[in-house]
């Protein structure tokens, strides 16, 4: 049974349109083939400078594309796990209210229909979660850029723990996104 769930989650993740892996873009949701193209679309939408500030970590911020792809993968995994748990809870709530199904072929057909409904639920939930995450990420990046432009020295001291930690811009964005997620859950 556990393997079946792993397969269901894998199929649901593969069935997502590939812009689900991006924060946005002005193209349709099914036009991206992979996370790399999604990150390219994101760079075009955000602008190269802001994109490098958000994702870049080396001295010239030229590794931003690779870090974007990596962050996309992690975000998709987290959002997919959240969607699966939401849909599982929803399914259990409807099963406790439902009646028993018939035996034989009708039972198999009902199980297949249930699996299809679960996959659709996960797919729709991941898409909705990605839209929310994408919007909070954009807002956080804009907020952090404005804060950086106001006082770069104070910004660096605030988000790099007195100059000890690297990547203060990305830390600012992550803190802002987490704060909005916590506010939504409360």
**Per-residue pLDDT reduced to its tens digit, 91-107:** 888 876 655 545 667 88
CA dihedral 41, 84, 86, 127 (to 10 degrees): 20
Specify the 3-state DSSP secondary structure of 33.
coil
Radius of gyration of the chain (CA): 20
Q: In this predicted model, which residue has the larger pLDDT, 29 or 123?
A: 123
**Count of domains forming the chain:** 1
pLDDT number for residue 47: 82
Please indicate, yes or no, whether the overall pTM of this predicted structure exceeds 0.75: no
Whether residue 88 lies inside any domain: the answer is yes
Whether residue 169 lies inside any domain: the answer is no
Q: What's the full length of the chain, in residues?
A: 186
Whether residue 107 lies inside any domain: the answer is yes
**Per-residue pLDDT reduced to its tens digit, 132-166:** 887 888 888 889 889 988 998 888 888 887 667 77
pLDDT at residue 3 tops 70:
no
| Structural domain boundaries enclosing 78 | 2-131
What is the token pair recorded at 122?
A: 């996960």
- Element housing 135 (H / E): helix 105-150
The 8-class DSSP code of residue 99 comes to: P
Whether residue 136 lies inside any domain: the answer is no
Which residues, 6 or more positions from 128, have their beta carbon under 8 angstroms from its beta carbon?
none
pLDDT number for residue 121: 93
pLDDT number for residue 161: 75
Whether residue 165 lies inside any domain: the answer is no
Whether residue 186 lies inside any domain: the answer is no
Stretch 115-134: mean pLDDT, rounded? 89
Which residues, 6 or more positions from 54, have their beta carbon under 8 angstroms from its beta carbon?
46, 64, 141, 169, 170, 173
pLDDT number for residue 10: 41
What is the token pair recorded at 172?
A: 């600012």
178-181 long-range Cβ contacts below 8 angstroms, 24+ apart: 180/136, 180/139, 180/140, 181/136
pLDDT at residue 25 tops 50:
no
Among residues 9, 43, 6, which one has the least CA distance to residue 23? 43
To which residue do tokens 């849909």 refer? 87
Whether residue 143 lies inside any domain: the answer is no
Q: In this predicted model, which residue has the larger pLDDT, 27 or 127?
A: 127
Q: Are 76 and 13 in contact (CB under 8 A)?
A: yes
Q: What distance in Å separates the CA atoms of residue 154 and residue 151, rounded to the nearest whole number? A: 6
Mean pLDDT of the chain: 76
pLDDT number for residue 23: 44
Whether residue 150 lies inside any domain: the answer is no
Q: In this predicted model, which residue has the larger pLDDT, 83 or 27?
A: 83
In this prediction, residue 33 has a pLDDT band, given cuts at 50, 70 and 90, of low
- Element housing 65 (H / E): helix 64-97
Q: In this predicted model, which residue has the larger pLDDT, 65 or 10?
A: 65
pLDDT number for residue 123: 92
């Amino acid at each position: 049974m556990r393997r079946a769930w792993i397969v269901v989650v894998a199929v649901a993740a593969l069935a997502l349109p590939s812009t689900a892996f991006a924060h946005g873009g002005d193209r349709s949701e099914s036009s991206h083939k992979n996370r790399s193209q999604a990150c390219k679309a994101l760079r075009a939408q955000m602008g190269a400078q802001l994109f490098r500030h958000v994702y870049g970590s080396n001295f010239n911020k030229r590794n931003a594309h690779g870090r974007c792809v990596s962050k996309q993968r992690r975000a998709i995994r987290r959002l997919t796990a959240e969607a699966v748990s939401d849909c599982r809870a929803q399914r259990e709530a409807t099963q406790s209210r439902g009646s028993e199904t018939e035996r034989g072929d009708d039972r198999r057909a009902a199980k297949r229909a249930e699996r299809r409904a679960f996959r659709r639920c996960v797919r729709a939930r991941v898409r909705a979660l990605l839209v929310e995450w994408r919007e909070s990420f954009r807002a956080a990046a804009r907020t952090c850029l404005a804060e950086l432009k106001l006082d770069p020295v104070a910004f660096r001291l605030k988000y790099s723990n007195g100059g000890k930690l690297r990547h203060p811009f990305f830390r600012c964005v992550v803190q802002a996104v987490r704060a909005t997620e916590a506010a939504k859950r409360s």
